[in-house]
């Protein structure tokens, strides 16, 4: 089945630790995105990538880092510099920027 897979579904970490969220797609899409959603709120863009080995900061990139070494993969690292990391994280992909985007099932990160 083609789609976007995020793992894990739930993640717990201690404050001060870096954590990496996985996002894999087998849709042959060039563009990939990471969004953050806080309870009762909309989605805010963290980073996006138009093509392999290229990525751009979104509206709330501080405290996060990404890599795009392979077309299929766009992992997100939540660093200890992110002050409020507890949130729901959603990954998406599209053929290109401006085309229909599809989302994974999300990862709920809780930092204690």
Partner 1 sequence: GIQVEQSPPDLILQEGANSTLRCNFSDSVNNLQWFHQNPWGQLINLFYIPSGTKQNGRLSATTVATERYSLLYISSSQTTDSGVYFCAATYGQNFVFGPGTRLSVLP
Minimum Å distance from CB 22 to partner 1? Answer: 17
If DSSP codes are grouped into helix, strand and coil, which group holds residue 21?
strand
Minimum distance, C-beta of residue 77 to partner 1, in the bound complex (Å) = 21
Q: Which of residues 21-60 bind partner 1 (CB under 8 A)?
A: 33, 35, 37, 41-45, 48, 50, 56
Give, for 102, the enclosing helix (H) or strand (E).
Answer: strand 101-103
Q: Which is nearer to partner 1, 13 or 103 (CB)?
A: 103
Residues 49-108 contacting partner 1, CB under 8 A: 50, 56, 88, 90, 92, 97-103, 105-106, 108
Torsion of CA 89, 9, 93, 98, to 10 degrees: -40
Q: Provide φ and ψ at 97, rounded to 5°.
A: -60, 130
Give how far Cα 3 sits from Cα of 50, 62, 104, 105, Å: 18, 28, 8, 10
Q: Give the interface with partner 1 as residue ranges (CB under 8 A).
A: 33, 35, 37, 41-45, 48, 50, 56, 88, 90, 92, 97-103, 105-106, 108
């Amino acid at each position: 089945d083609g789609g976007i897979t995020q793992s894990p579904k739930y993640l717990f970490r201690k404050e001060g630790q870096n954590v990496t969220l996985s996002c894999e797609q087998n849709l042959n899409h060039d563009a990939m995105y990471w969004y953050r959603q806080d309870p009762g709120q909309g989605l805010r863009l963290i980073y996006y990538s138009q093509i392999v080995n290229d990525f751009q900061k979104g509206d709330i990139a501080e405290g996060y880092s990404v890599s795009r070494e392979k077309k299929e993969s766009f992992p997100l690292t939540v660093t200890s510099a992110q002050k409020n990391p507890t949130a729901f994280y959603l990954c998406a992909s599209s053929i290109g920027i401006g085309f229909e985007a599809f989302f994974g099932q999300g990862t709920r990160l809780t930092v204690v």
